[in-house]
Amino acid sequence: MIVEKKHWFSLSAILLIGAVFITFGLIKRKIYGQESPSLPAAGNSPIEKPLIEKPLVEESKTLVKKTGAAFPVGLQAAAFENARLKNTLGWTFGAKPQSGWNIYVPLIQQTIGTEAEAETPEFAQSVSVWQQKVGLSPSGKIDGETLLKMVEWWQSRRLNSSRYPSSEELVSAPITDFYDPTRDSALLQIERETYNAYKKMLAAAAKELKLKMTKTGELAPDEKYLRIISSFRSREYQEKLRRASPDSGRAGLAVNSPHFTGCALDIYVGGEPTITKDPNRALQVTTPAYKWLVKNAARFGFYPYYYEPWHWEYVPNAAKKK
Protein backbone atom coordinates (compact mmCIF):
# COMPACT_ATOMS: atom_id res chain seq x y z
CA MET A 1 0.00 0.00 0.00
CA ILE A 2 2.78 2.40 0.93
CA VAL A 3 4.52 1.71 -2.35
CA GLU A 4 1.32 2.47 -4.21
CA LYS A 5 0.88 5.77 -2.34
CA LYS A 6 4.45 6.81 -3.15
CA HIS A 7 3.74 5.98 -6.77
CA TRP A 8 0.69 8.19 -6.84
CA PHE A 9 2.65 10.99 -5.25
CA SER A 10 5.42 10.82 -7.83
CA LEU A 11 2.90 10.67 -10.67
CA SER A 12 1.03 13.71 -9.36
CA ALA A 13 4.29 15.60 -8.98
CA ILE A 14 5.30 14.80 -12.59
CA LEU A 15 1.88 15.85 -13.89
CA LEU A 16 2.01 19.08 -11.92
CA ILE A 17 5.47 20.01 -13.16
CA GLY A 18 4.38 19.09 -16.70
CA ALA A 19 1.32 21.30 -16.43
CA VAL A 20 3.42 24.22 -15.24
CA PHE A 21 5.79 23.82 -18.22
CA ILE A 22 2.93 23.59 -20.73
CA THR A 23 1.25 26.67 -19.25
CA PHE A 24 4.49 28.61 -19.41
CA GLY A 25 4.97 27.50 -22.97
CA LEU A 26 1.51 28.67 -23.94
CA ILE A 27 1.99 32.05 -22.29
CA LYS A 28 5.34 32.49 -24.03
CA ARG A 29 3.81 31.57 -27.40
CA LYS A 30 1.05 34.08 -26.89
CA ILE A 31 3.46 36.86 -26.00
CA TYR A 32 5.91 36.31 -28.84
CA GLY A 33 3.53 34.94 -31.44
CA GLN A 34 6.07 32.26 -32.31
CA GLU A 35 5.21 28.68 -33.11
CA SER A 36 8.69 27.43 -32.51
CA PRO A 37 11.18 29.87 -31.16
CA SER A 38 14.24 28.03 -32.46
CA LEU A 39 16.75 30.85 -32.64
CA PRO A 40 20.07 30.15 -30.98
CA ALA A 41 20.31 31.58 -27.48
CA ALA A 42 22.53 34.40 -28.63
CA GLY A 43 20.51 37.07 -26.92
CA ASN A 44 18.20 37.61 -29.85
CA SER A 45 14.60 37.83 -28.84
CA PRO A 46 12.45 35.58 -31.06
CA ILE A 47 10.33 38.58 -31.91
CA GLU A 48 13.26 39.99 -33.91
CA LYS A 49 13.64 36.84 -35.95
CA PRO A 50 11.70 37.90 -39.05
CA LEU A 51 13.54 41.21 -39.11
CA ILE A 52 17.03 39.77 -39.14
CA GLU A 53 16.34 36.62 -41.09
CA LYS A 54 15.14 38.13 -44.35
CA PRO A 55 18.27 40.11 -45.21
CA LEU A 56 20.37 37.10 -44.27
CA VAL A 57 18.45 34.88 -46.68
CA GLU A 58 18.74 37.48 -49.44
CA GLU A 59 22.43 37.87 -48.74
CA SER A 60 23.09 34.17 -48.89
CA LYS A 61 21.12 33.91 -52.14
CA THR A 62 23.32 36.62 -53.65
CA LEU A 63 26.35 34.78 -52.35
CA VAL A 64 25.18 31.53 -53.96
CA LYS A 65 24.65 33.43 -57.20
CA LYS A 66 28.10 34.99 -57.05
CA THR A 67 30.08 31.97 -55.95
CA GLY A 68 27.87 29.29 -57.41
CA ALA A 69 27.70 27.52 -54.07
CA ALA A 70 25.32 25.02 -55.64
CA PHE A 71 28.10 23.77 -57.95
CA PRO A 72 30.77 21.24 -57.01
CA VAL A 73 33.80 22.76 -55.36
CA GLY A 74 35.99 21.82 -58.33
CA LEU A 75 33.90 23.89 -60.74
CA GLN A 76 33.82 26.81 -58.33
CA ALA A 77 37.60 26.70 -58.14
CA ALA A 78 37.79 26.54 -61.95
CA ALA A 79 35.49 29.57 -62.16
CA PHE A 80 37.76 31.58 -59.86
CA GLU A 81 40.75 30.51 -61.91
CA ASN A 82 39.02 31.48 -65.18
CA ALA A 83 38.25 34.92 -63.75
CA ARG A 84 41.99 35.36 -63.35
CA LEU A 85 43.15 33.61 -66.53
CA LYS A 86 40.84 35.52 -68.83
CA ASN A 87 42.98 38.61 -68.28
CA THR A 88 46.37 37.11 -67.46
CA LEU A 89 46.98 33.84 -69.33
CA GLY A 90 50.23 34.28 -71.25
CA TRP A 91 50.38 32.94 -74.81
CA THR A 92 51.75 34.07 -78.14
CA PHE A 93 50.22 35.02 -81.45
CA GLY A 94 53.00 34.54 -83.93
CA ALA A 95 55.80 36.20 -82.01
CA LYS A 96 53.55 38.66 -80.24
CA PRO A 97 52.95 37.99 -76.53
CA GLN A 98 49.28 37.99 -75.61
CA SER A 99 47.57 38.38 -72.28
CA GLY A 100 44.39 36.51 -71.46
CA TRP A 101 41.45 35.45 -73.60
CA ASN A 102 38.87 38.06 -72.69
CA ILE A 103 38.59 39.17 -76.34
CA TYR A 104 37.57 35.64 -77.36
CA VAL A 105 34.85 35.07 -74.76
CA PRO A 106 31.96 35.35 -77.28
CA LEU A 107 33.66 32.82 -79.57
CA ILE A 108 34.44 30.52 -76.66
CA GLN A 109 30.85 30.72 -75.41
CA GLN A 110 29.58 29.85 -78.87
CA THR A 111 32.04 26.96 -79.18
CA ILE A 112 31.21 25.38 -75.83
CA GLY A 113 27.49 26.18 -76.11
CA THR A 114 26.83 28.50 -73.17
CA GLU A 115 25.86 32.10 -72.60
CA ALA A 116 27.20 32.08 -69.05
CA GLU A 117 29.84 34.68 -68.13
CA ALA A 118 33.46 33.50 -68.11
CA GLU A 119 33.80 33.71 -64.33
CA THR A 120 30.84 31.47 -63.50
CA PRO A 121 30.76 27.76 -62.62
CA GLU A 122 28.21 27.26 -65.43
CA PHE A 123 30.87 28.42 -67.90
CA ALA A 124 33.50 26.18 -66.28
CA GLN A 125 31.09 23.26 -66.54
CA SER A 126 30.59 23.81 -70.28
CA VAL A 127 34.36 24.13 -70.70
CA SER A 128 34.87 20.77 -69.01
CA VAL A 129 32.27 19.08 -71.24
CA TRP A 130 34.00 20.50 -74.32
CA GLN A 131 37.43 19.48 -73.00
CA GLN A 132 36.21 15.93 -72.62
CA LYS A 133 34.81 15.97 -76.15
CA VAL A 134 38.17 16.98 -77.64
CA GLY A 135 40.23 14.64 -75.47
CA LEU A 136 41.57 17.10 -72.90
CA SER A 137 41.35 16.52 -69.18
CA PRO A 138 38.12 18.20 -68.01
CA SER A 139 39.49 20.87 -65.66
CA GLY A 140 36.86 23.49 -66.58
CA LYS A 141 39.66 26.01 -66.98
CA ILE A 142 40.66 27.83 -70.16
CA ASP A 143 44.38 27.27 -69.72
CA GLY A 144 47.06 27.47 -72.39
CA GLU A 145 46.45 23.96 -73.69
CA THR A 146 42.69 24.46 -73.91
CA LEU A 147 42.99 27.84 -75.63
CA LEU A 148 45.39 26.34 -78.16
CA LYS A 149 42.96 23.49 -78.89
CA MET A 150 40.16 25.99 -79.34
CA VAL A 151 42.22 28.14 -81.71
CA GLU A 152 43.02 24.98 -83.70
CA TRP A 153 39.29 24.22 -83.96
CA TRP A 154 38.45 27.75 -85.11
CA GLN A 155 41.29 27.72 -87.64
CA SER A 156 40.23 24.33 -88.99
CA ARG A 157 36.94 25.78 -90.21
CA ARG A 158 38.54 28.57 -92.23
CA LEU A 159 39.20 28.62 -95.96
CA ASN A 160 42.82 27.64 -95.50
CA SER A 161 43.32 28.57 -99.13
CA SER A 162 44.57 31.46 -101.16
CA ARG A 163 43.35 30.11 -104.48
CA TYR A 164 42.98 32.83 -107.07
CA PRO A 165 39.49 32.97 -108.62
CA SER A 166 38.96 33.35 -112.35
CA SER A 167 37.40 36.63 -113.41
CA GLU A 168 34.08 34.83 -114.09
CA GLU A 169 33.92 33.80 -110.47
CA LEU A 170 33.99 37.41 -109.30
CA VAL A 171 31.21 39.96 -109.25
CA SER A 172 31.53 43.66 -108.70
CA ALA A 173 29.37 44.70 -105.74
CA PRO A 174 27.74 48.15 -105.68
CA ILE A 175 29.68 50.79 -103.77
CA THR A 176 26.64 51.16 -101.48
CA ASP A 177 27.58 47.83 -99.86
CA PHE A 178 30.92 49.21 -98.77
CA TYR A 179 32.03 50.99 -95.63
CA ASP A 180 34.08 53.58 -97.50
CA PRO A 181 31.88 55.36 -100.06
CA THR A 182 34.98 56.59 -101.86
CA ARG A 183 36.52 53.15 -102.29
CA ASP A 184 38.33 52.58 -105.59
CA SER A 185 36.02 50.92 -108.11
CA ALA A 186 38.75 48.35 -108.79
CA LEU A 187 38.38 47.07 -105.20
CA LEU A 188 34.71 46.12 -105.15
CA GLN A 189 35.01 42.55 -106.42
CA ILE A 190 33.76 39.56 -104.45
CA GLU A 191 33.45 35.87 -105.26
CA ARG A 192 29.90 35.37 -106.58
CA GLU A 193 28.55 32.81 -104.07
CA THR A 194 30.18 34.64 -101.19
CA TYR A 195 28.40 37.81 -102.20
CA ASN A 196 25.02 36.06 -102.45
CA ALA A 197 25.53 34.52 -99.01
CA TYR A 198 26.57 37.89 -97.59
CA LYS A 199 23.40 39.54 -98.90
CA LYS A 200 21.25 36.80 -97.34
CA MET A 201 23.09 37.13 -94.05
CA LEU A 202 22.76 40.91 -94.16
CA ALA A 203 18.99 40.71 -94.70
CA ALA A 204 18.60 38.43 -91.67
CA ALA A 205 20.93 40.54 -89.52
CA ALA A 206 19.22 43.78 -90.52
CA LYS A 207 15.91 42.40 -89.31
CA GLU A 208 17.22 40.96 -86.05
CA LEU A 209 19.59 43.79 -85.22
CA LYS A 210 17.17 46.44 -86.46
CA LEU A 211 19.78 48.04 -88.69
CA LYS A 212 18.78 51.16 -90.56
CA MET A 213 17.66 50.19 -94.06
CA THR A 214 16.33 51.94 -97.15
CA LYS A 215 12.88 51.16 -98.57
CA THR A 216 14.50 48.92 -101.17
CA GLY A 217 16.18 46.78 -98.51
CA GLU A 218 19.71 48.20 -98.73
CA LEU A 219 21.69 49.50 -95.76
CA ALA A 220 20.76 53.13 -95.13
CA PRO A 221 23.56 55.61 -95.97
CA ASP A 222 24.15 56.36 -92.28
CA GLU A 223 24.25 52.71 -91.20
CA LYS A 224 27.82 51.52 -90.75
CA TYR A 225 27.36 48.07 -89.24
CA LEU A 226 28.00 45.02 -91.41
CA ARG A 227 29.13 47.05 -94.39
CA ILE A 228 31.97 45.51 -96.36
CA ILE A 229 35.33 47.08 -95.60
CA SER A 230 37.39 44.88 -97.88
CA SER A 231 36.79 41.83 -100.03
CA PHE A 232 38.81 40.45 -102.95
CA ARG A 233 42.36 41.71 -103.04
CA SER A 234 44.71 41.06 -105.89
CA ARG A 235 48.26 40.03 -105.08
CA GLU A 236 49.43 43.38 -106.39
CA TYR A 237 47.08 45.28 -104.13
CA GLN A 238 48.07 43.20 -101.08
CA GLU A 239 51.73 43.94 -101.85
CA LYS A 240 50.93 47.64 -102.00
CA LEU A 241 49.19 47.44 -98.60
CA ARG A 242 52.19 45.66 -97.10
CA ARG A 243 54.62 48.24 -98.45
CA ALA A 244 52.42 51.10 -97.24
CA SER A 245 52.33 49.97 -93.61
CA PRO A 246 55.22 47.68 -92.81
CA ASP A 247 55.09 48.03 -89.04
CA SER A 248 53.13 47.09 -85.94
CA GLY A 249 49.39 47.42 -86.54
CA ARG A 250 49.35 46.07 -90.06
CA ALA A 251 52.33 43.77 -89.77
CA GLY A 252 49.84 40.91 -89.78
CA LEU A 253 49.07 41.46 -93.47
CA ALA A 254 49.76 38.03 -94.84
CA VAL A 255 51.85 37.24 -97.88
CA ASN A 256 49.23 34.65 -98.80
CA SER A 257 45.98 36.28 -97.88
CA PRO A 258 42.59 34.56 -97.83
CA HIS A 259 41.44 37.80 -99.46
CA PHE A 260 43.03 36.48 -102.68
CA THR A 261 40.15 34.00 -102.95
CA GLY A 262 37.38 36.61 -103.02
CA CYS A 263 35.66 34.52 -100.30
CA ALA A 264 36.97 36.53 -97.35
CA LEU A 265 35.15 39.66 -96.22
CA ASP A 266 36.14 42.29 -93.73
CA ILE A 267 32.86 43.49 -92.25
CA TYR A 268 32.35 46.52 -90.03
CA VAL A 269 31.59 45.44 -86.45
CA GLY A 270 32.40 48.68 -84.61
CA GLY A 271 35.40 50.65 -83.38
CA GLU A 272 38.30 51.25 -85.74
CA PRO A 273 37.41 49.04 -88.70
CA THR A 274 40.54 46.86 -88.93
CA ILE A 275 42.92 47.75 -86.12
CA THR A 276 44.28 44.76 -84.17
CA LYS A 277 45.22 46.70 -81.01
CA ASP A 278 43.68 45.00 -77.96
CA PRO A 279 41.46 47.88 -76.78
CA ASN A 280 39.93 48.16 -80.25
CA ARG A 281 39.26 44.42 -80.53
CA ALA A 282 37.98 44.34 -76.95
CA LEU A 283 35.44 46.98 -77.94
CA GLN A 284 34.48 45.29 -81.20
CA VAL A 285 33.60 41.98 -79.55
CA THR A 286 31.02 43.71 -77.35
CA THR A 287 28.91 45.12 -80.19
CA PRO A 288 25.54 43.54 -81.06
CA ALA A 289 26.75 43.22 -84.66
CA TYR A 290 29.75 41.10 -83.70
CA LYS A 291 27.80 39.02 -81.23
CA TRP A 292 25.15 38.39 -83.85
CA LEU A 293 27.76 37.23 -86.33
CA VAL A 294 29.31 34.86 -83.79
CA LYS A 295 25.94 33.24 -83.20
CA ASN A 296 24.52 33.30 -86.72
CA ALA A 297 27.14 33.64 -89.44
CA ALA A 298 27.67 29.88 -89.74
CA ARG A 299 24.03 29.51 -90.84
CA PHE A 300 25.04 31.45 -93.94
CA GLY A 301 28.37 29.69 -94.40
CA PHE A 302 30.59 32.35 -92.81
CA TYR A 303 33.28 31.50 -90.25
CA PRO A 304 35.42 33.83 -88.19
CA TYR A 305 39.09 34.49 -88.01
CA TYR A 306 39.30 34.62 -84.22
CA TYR A 307 42.06 37.25 -84.07
CA GLU A 308 40.28 39.81 -86.26
CA PRO A 309 36.66 40.34 -85.23
CA TRP A 310 35.93 41.93 -88.64
CA HIS A 311 37.32 39.11 -90.81
CA TRP A 312 34.87 36.43 -91.97
CA GLU A 313 35.32 33.72 -94.58
CA TYR A 314 32.73 31.98 -96.70
CA VAL A 315 33.28 28.24 -96.29
CA PRO A 316 29.92 26.63 -97.02
CA ASN A 317 31.17 23.15 -96.13
CA ALA A 318 32.99 24.06 -92.92
CA ALA A 319 30.18 22.69 -90.76
CA LYS A 320 30.75 19.25 -92.29
CA LYS A 321 34.40 19.25 -91.22
CA LYS A 322 35.03 17.13 -88.10
Binding flags for Zn ion, 118-157, as an x/- string (CB under 5 A): ----------------------------------------
How near is the Cβ of 158 to Zn ion at its closest, in Å? 11
Binding flags for Zn ion, 257-276, as an x/- string (CB under 5 A): ---------x----------
What amino acid is encoded at 240 in this protein?
K
Q: Determine, following the binding rule CB under 5 A, whether residue 281 of this chain makes contact with Zn ion.
A: no
How near is the Cβ of 308 to Zn ion at its closest, in Å? 6
How near is the Cβ of 171 to Zn ion at its closest, in Å? 18
Q: By CB under 5 A, name the one of 311, 313, 314, 318 that touches Zn ion.
A: 311
Of the listed pieces 22-30, 112-120, 234-242, 307-315, which binds Zn ion according to CB under 5 A?
307-315
Cβ distance to Zn ion smaller for residue 227 or 311: 311
Residues 6 or more apart in contact with residue 47 via CB below 8 angstroms: 32, 33, 34
Cβ distance to Zn ion smaller for residue 52 or 254: 254
How near is the Cβ of 301 to Zn ion at its closest, in Å? 16
How near is the Cβ of 252 to Zn ion at its closest, in Å? 10
How near is the Cβ of 231 to Zn ion at its closest, in Å? 9
* Dist. CA 137–CA 82, nearest whole Å: 16
Where along the sequence are the contacts to Zn ion (CB under 5 A)?
A: 266, 311
